[in-house]
Every structure is written in C-alpha cells, then in structure tokens.
C-alpha cells in the first residue's frame, strides 16, 4: 500500500511516499510554501512529478492546532483541510496531525543513529514517552502505548509560566512578560526566545542588541552575551523539561525535537542541563529515571505520518 | 455482582460494598488506621461486620504511588498489595489505584449536586478532563475517554516548580525552598503548605507564627496574616491550575478535589482565582474554554473504585 505523507512547516513543505510504516527516503521532495497557493497545489505538483502513483492513504503533519479535520499554521496563511487533501490524492483515507503528534507516532520507527543522548537513564519498553518540541515555538506531547496503538496527548505546553528560581531569572521573566505581566515558557525557549535572551543579556551589560538564534549560536566563542543567552536557554530548558517529566512521568524516555533542540544539544552537558533537570528538591533522585535524547532525524514527522496510517489501516 | 471498595487515607480508611458501578452508601464504614495493623486487618473486620458477603471483585484507592500491584502511603507505614487483598476478600479480581486515578474513574458517576462551580465554561462531552487534588499533598491526573474506557494519566504534579510572577512571589519561593534552592508547588498548595504560607506572611509582618491549615481558614476575619496566606494560596492555585490546563487542554472540564480544595472553594471568587487562572498573555482568551468545579462528594474515590471494577468486568 502506497501512501502520501507531508510535513508542512512555516517556510517549507516536504512531501514523500511511504510503503506501510516505512518512509521511502528517495521520494522526499521539498517545496517553498511562498511559491505555492496552498497545500493542494504542492501535492498536485508532487503527484504529477512522481508519475501519478495510486495513493491508498494520505497524512499531513503541520505546525499548528488541528481540530475536526482542519488545521491552521501559526506563521502561514494556509488553511489545511482533510477534505481538500482527499480530493487531490484520490483517497478518502486522510488524516491531519499536529507535527508534535506526528513525531510521537514516529518514535517506534526511529533508527538508533537518529538519537543523540543528552541524559542517560533506563527507558522502559511500553512506558509513557514524552516528546518536547523546541523550534519556532515550544510544545510537548505525552505518548502512551495502548493496546490499540499509540495515543498522543495534546497541549499548549509553551504557554505555561516560565519558571523563576532566583532574582536573575525574575529579571528575565519581567523582561519577557507581556502587558499582563505574564511570561510564558515559549518567550524564552524557542528560536525567537533565544534572540530575546540575547537582548536581555546585552541590555544587562549596557549594550543594545537584537539578533536571531542562528547568530547567537554562531557567536558563543566571541560574544559573552551570546554565551550567557545560550547558557540561560540550556538551564531553563533543564528546569522546564524536568517539570514536564514530573507532569507526565515518561519512564519510556524524553525526546527533544526541533531546530533549537538540535542546536543546543552539543552544549547541554557543558552548560548544565543535567543540573537544573534534576534539581527537584526531595524528588531529585526520581529524575535519574528519565532518559533524555535528541531526535536528529529530519524526516521523523514524515515517518510518523506513515506509521500513523499503517497502524490505522 | 457485589464488590468491595476501599479508600485508604493517611489517618482513616473507608470501606464499602458496591453493586456494579453503584456504591451502596449505607454500607460505608470508617476505620482509624492507628487501631489496625494493616489494610487486611481492616478488611477482615469489615467483611465480618457485614455478614461475610460473597465478593466478586475488590478495588482500593490509596494516597500514594501504585506500581506492579503494590502501593505505598506517604504518611503511613502500611504496604498494600493486591495479593493480600485477594486473600482476605476471596476474589482474584483485585485492583489497587492511586486515589487521584480513582477520582478520575468516578467523574462519570458524580451527581450534579456533588459539583460546586468555580469558573464557568463549556465542558465538551468526551473531551479530556483534569482532576487536581489538593489535600495532604498536591497532584493532577488527566482523564481521557477512550473506546475501551477511561485512561487516567500518572503524574507528580505537586513536585514541579512553584510559579513566581513577581518579587513577593520570589520571596515566598525562597522561603519555601529546600537546601537545593528548589521550591515545589506542593510546598505551598497543600494543607501543610497553607500553614507555611501563614508562617511566611507572619514573618513578613514581624510576627512569629506556626499554625495548621484549619486554624488559618478559621482566622480569615480576625488575622490579617491568615487572610494574606489564604489569598496567596488561592491566587497561586489559579496560576498552577491554569498552567495544568495548558499542559493537558481539558476541554471536558477541570475538577478540584481534596480537603484543601473544598476549604478554599468559597473564597475562590473573592480572592481572585479567575484572575490568575486566566492571566496567560496571548493565550488568556483560550482559558475561558475550561470549566472549573470542585467535587464535594466525600465518597468519590469509593465510587471510582466501583466504576473501575464494573468497567473491567
């Protein structure tokens, strides 16, 4: 059974074919969203270029909320509907997934080399797992293995209170807070967030600054404020990931995904991720139960779409 | 089918009989744990007093973690095992549940008068619900309706970072923090927590204080520090419940349970629960989607045990 899978980001959309739960890597194509009117336009182009294969199911992952067969992207003016995908792909078996849910459905298919260890720990087969996405935004999804397949929870985990442990962190939260005085996790732990951490670190040093995440990560060796911003990011990520672990008890492991997760992973050890992850008072010992890894498979959302379709055949 | 159900707290154990999912209220008996060697001793007494009925299933809820058919109470030196309950009740169908999970399994059986409204909002049938327990400790459990029955998540939600929004809250977190500088939600939002909030409020006013939750709640009209402690409790509870709502998106409603939840519910409106629950920056509008109620049915954990057994027949 050949299925059509797609991963729709804010800038690019990737499309591929899959056989059962297996993504066919040679079939992956990338499209710039700006060159297309909408997703059906992208899929029509893809299917024509692929020689109009017969499609028995289609699944698309998108970076935004999905409800009642409709999805909306945060940073792109496309409305994505299962009915429209059914029309262009010629199959009534169509599913839209939130991209974090798609990553959750991919966990059982990931090759060992797709995982970079961050913190060691036991990972019990069949236990709850947790996917934490850190990229344009921040979110988390608990993945439960049930008799009928995986169940992936929904959340807006990037919108909860940014943790504050000391006066410096409070000054950061107040710097990041909106008009109502509330600072959300995502204001710090996202690509944009790292830029704002740099602004905060620079202002503290009397130097005005405004830069993007890529520039901050490139300047760690030369710019003390960039280093301070990245260290603050990593240490906050430890605290937030630890809080999420206590909220979901993912004895099956924690999986960091997204561009910012990949960017900071090499620095997680030296910058103190473990220290803040495990600083939980009398529950500190429990934190050693949670293995943390970063997923570096760029096609994982596509794999998750294929896996979801294969499980629900 | 008659089943045996029990709710084991730190001080008392309640035992009852149920027919299918229906608890038989006339059969509820309460036992002081201090007067008994262990749970099997309590159950043996109960069954003898009840005339040794034939038991087709047994389920006990306890305030502590349950793993692999074994439970441990936080504040009582009893180990509770399914095998031992099977021995005294004469049935192999035995299940131990965490008390919060039992409360989750009771939600579909609660009478309308068992719920006191805290915040109005739509409650979608079939959507995820969230139980938040505030009593001796603090915890939360997401309740998912699946085709095969309810699935109740596990958490240590009382052990996550206490939210800090301003300098006053930071002074509180530092007052509550342990040796590693970490302050958990449960250090403030529990019976003991309210006592410590009073200590904090009193120290700030130059008055030494140490009191328990019941005394604080009784002194709201006469002691400004008690009032400040209770207001701080309610406003923190709003922030924490709002964060939990974003972590689980309980469009089916939020249910507060436990002695401290019941104690502060009449004060939730005047003391500003809604304000902190909904203060979530650009996600403030979403917070109106979540209905919040307090469960005042003291037998809900027993009902949940009966409901669990009936669903897994």
pLDDT at B47 over 80: yes
Contacts of residue A167 in chain B, CB cutoff 8 Å?
Answer: 170
- DSSP lists the bridge partners of residue A116 as A294
Nearest Cβ partner of B280 from A157, A159, A244? Answer: A159
Whether B140 and B133 have beta carbons less than 8 Å apart is answered as: yes
Mean pLDDT score, B180-203? 94
Residue the block writes with tokens 């709003």:
B238
Query: Is A249 in Cβ contact with B154 (below 8 Å)?
Result: yes
Query: Is A286 in Cβ contact with B161 (below 8 Å)?
Result: no
CA B218/CA B215 separation, integer angstroms: 5
Mean pLDDT score, A192-199? 94
pLDDT at B94 over 80: yes
Instruction: Please report the pLDDT score of residue B259 as a whole number.
Output: 92
Instruction: Please report the pLDDT score of residue B123 as a whole number.
Output: 92
pLDDT at B72 over 90: no
Query: Is A282 in Cβ contact with B155 (below 8 Å)?
Result: no
- The number of C-alpha atoms within 13 Å of A228 and in the hemisphere containing its C-beta is 16
Residue the block writes with tokens 């305030």:
B63
Inter-chain contacts counted by CB atoms under 8 A, chains A and B: 129
Q: pLDDT, tens digit, for every residue of A59-100? A: 999 988 888 899 988 767 888 999 999 999 999 999 999 999
Q: Among all residues of chain B, which has the CA nearest to that of A167?
A: B170
Beta strands (DSSP E) in chain A are 2-8, 12-19, 22-23, 29-32, 57-62, 66-67, 70-72, 79-81, 94-98, 115-119, 129-134, 138-146, 149-152, 254-257, 292-295
Query: Is A280 in Cβ contact with B248 (below 8 Å)?
Result: no
Q: Among all residues of chain A, which has the CA nearest to that of B156?
A: A246
Whether A170 and A284 have beta carbons less than 8 Å apart is answered as: no
Q: Would you call B147 helix, strand, or coil by DSSP?
A: coil
Query: Is B151 in Cβ contact with A151 (below 8 Å)?
Result: yes
Contacts of residue A156 in chain B, CB cutoff 8 Å?
Answer: 246, 249, 283, 286
Where would I find the H helices in chain B? 39-49, 82-89, 99-106, 167-176, 191-204, 213-218, 224-248, 259-268, 273-278, 300-311
CA A237/CA B165 separation, integer angstroms: 18
Nearest Cβ partner of A170 from B153, B167, B246? Answer: B167
Instruction: Please report the pLDDT score of residue A206 as a whole number.
Output: 57
Q: Where are the domains of chain B?
A: 2-107+298-311, 112-296
Q: How confident is the model at residue A207 (pLDDT cuts 50, 70, 90)?
A: low
Interacting residues of B183 by C-beta distance below 8 A, sequence separation 6+: A281, B161, B162, B172, B173, B174, B176, B177
Q: How far is B312 from chain A (nearest CA, A)?
A: 14
Contacts of residue B243 in chain A, CB cutoff 8 Å?
Answer: 160-161
Nearest Cβ partner of A155 from B154, B155, B247? Answer: B247
Q: How confident is the model at residue B73 (pLDDT cuts 50, 70, 90)?
A: confident
Query: Is A281 in Cβ contact with B183 (below 8 Å)?
Result: yes
CA A138/CA B53 separation, integer angstroms: 55
pLDDT at A223 over 60: yes
Find which of A68, A165, A251 to mutate to test the B interface (most B CBs within 10 Å of its CB).
Answer: A165
Q: How confident is the model at residue B204 (pLDDT cuts 50, 70, 90)?
A: low
Interacting residues of A138 by C-beta distance below 8 A, sequence separation 6+: A132, A157, A158, A185, A186, A189, A190, A193
Q: pLDDT, tens digit, for every residue of B107-147? A: 999 999 999 999 999 999 999 999 999 998 899 999 999 98
Find which of B150, B151, B159 to mutate to test the A interface (most A CBs within 10 Å of its CB).
Answer: B159
Q: How far is B253 from chain A (nearest CA, A)?
A: 15
Cα separations in angstroms, B15 against A150, B43, B97: 36, 8, 14
- Could you tell me the fold of the domain covering A157-295? Hexokinase; domain 1 (3.40.367)
Average of per-residue pLDDT values in chain B? 93
Q: pLDDT, tens digit, for every residue of A128-168? A: 999 999 998 899 999 999 988 899 999 999 999 999 999 99
Query: Is B153 in Cβ contact with A248 (below 8 Å)?
Result: yes
Mean pLDDT score, B45-61? 96
Report the CATH architecture of B112-296.
Answer: 3-Layer(aba) Sandwich (3.40)
Range in A46-55, A203-212, B14-23 the model is least confident about: A203-212
Of A4, A89, A22, nearest in space to A14 by CA: A4
Query: Is B165 in Cβ contact with A243 (below 8 Å)?
Result: no
Instruction: Please report the pLDDT score of residue B76 as a whole number.
Output: 79
Interacting residues of A195 by C-beta distance below 8 A, sequence separation 6+: A210, A211, A212, A213, A216
> If residue B143 lies in a helix (H) or strand (E), which one and from where to where?
strand B138-146
Mean pLDDT score, A229-254? 98
Percent with pLDDT over 70 in chain B = 97
Joined together, the tokens standing for residue A178 give 């909106």
Instruction: Please report the pLDDT score of residue B273 as a whole number.
Output: 98
Mean pLDDT score, B162-181? 95
CA A115/CA A138 separation, integer angstroms: 20
Q: What dotted CATH number matches B2-107+298-311?
A: 3.30.420.40
Mean pLDDT score, A37-65? 94
Query: Is B159 in Cβ contact with A161 (below 8 Å)?
Result: no
Instruction: Please report the pLDDT score of residue B270 as a whole number.
Output: 97
Query: Is B178 in Cβ contact with A281 (below 8 Å)?
Result: yes
Query: Is B184 in Cβ contact with A281 (below 8 Å)?
Result: yes
Nearest Cβ partner of B157 from A170, A173, A246? Answer: A246
Query: Is B181 in Cβ contact with A279 (below 8 Å)?
Result: yes
CA A57/CA B211 separation, integer angstroms: 64
Joined together, the tokens standing for residue A283 give 């529950």
Instruction: Please report the pLDDT score of residue A212 as a whole number.
Output: 87
Tally of residues, chain B? 313
Residue A69, number of CB atoms within 10 A of its CB: 14
Q: pLDDT, tens digit, for every residue of B235-286? A: 999 999 999 999 999 999 999 999 999 999 999 999 999 999 999 999 999 9
Cα separations in angstroms, B63 against A116, A243, B60, B71: 38, 21, 10, 9
Instruction: Please report the pLDDT score of residue B147 as a whole number.
Output: 84
Q: How far is A132 from chain B (nearest CA, A)?
A: 12
Contacts of residue A151 in chain B, CB cutoff 8 Å?
Answer: 144, 146, 151
Query: Is A173 in Cβ contact with B170 (below 8 Å)?
Result: no
Instruction: Please report the pLDDT score of residue A208 as a whole number.
Output: 58
Q: Do domains A2-107+298-311 and A157-295 have the same CATH topology?
A: no
Contacts of residue A163 in chain B, CB cutoff 8 Å?
Answer: 161, 163-164
């Amino acid at each position: 059974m050949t299925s059509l899978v797609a991963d729709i980001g804010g800038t690019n959309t990737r499309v591929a074919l899959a056989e059962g739960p297996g993504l066919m890597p040679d079939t992956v194509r990338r499209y710039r969203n700006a060159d297309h009117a909408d997703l059906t336009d992208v899929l029509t182009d893809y299917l024509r270029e692929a020689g109009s294969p017969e499609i028995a199911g289609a699944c698309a992952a998108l970076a935004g909320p999905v409800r009642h067969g409709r999805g909306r992207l945060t940073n792109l003016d496309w409305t994505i509907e299962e009915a429209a995908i059914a029309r262009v792909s010629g199959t009534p078996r169509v599913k839209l997934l939130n991209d974090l849910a798609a990553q959750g459905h991919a966990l059982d298919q990931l090759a060992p080399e797709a995982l970079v260890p961050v913190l060691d720990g036991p990972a019990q087969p069949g236990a709850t797992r947790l996917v934490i996405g850190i990229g344009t935004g921040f979110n988390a999804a608990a993945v439960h293995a049930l008799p009928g397949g995986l169940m992936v929870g929904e959340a807006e985990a990037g919108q909860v209170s940014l943790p504050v442990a000391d006066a410096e962190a409070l000054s950061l939260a107040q710097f990041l807070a909106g008009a109502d005085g509330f600072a959300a996790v995502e204001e710090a732990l996202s690509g944009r967030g790292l830029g704002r951490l740099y602004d905060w670190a620079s202002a503290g040093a009397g130097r005005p600054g405004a830069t993007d995440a890529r520039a901050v990560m490139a300047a760690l060796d030369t710019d003390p404020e960039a280093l301070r911003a990245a260290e603050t990011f990593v240490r906050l990520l430890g605290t937030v990931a630890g809080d999420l672990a206590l909220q979901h008890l993912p004895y099956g492991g924690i999986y960091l995904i997204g561009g910012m997760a990949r960017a900071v992973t090499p620095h997680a050890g030296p910058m103190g991720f473990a220290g803040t992850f495990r600083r939980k008072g009398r529950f500190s010992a429990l934190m050693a139960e949670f293995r943390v890894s970063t997923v570096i498979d760029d096609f994982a959302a596509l794999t998750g779409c294929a896996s979801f379709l294969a499980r629900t055949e």
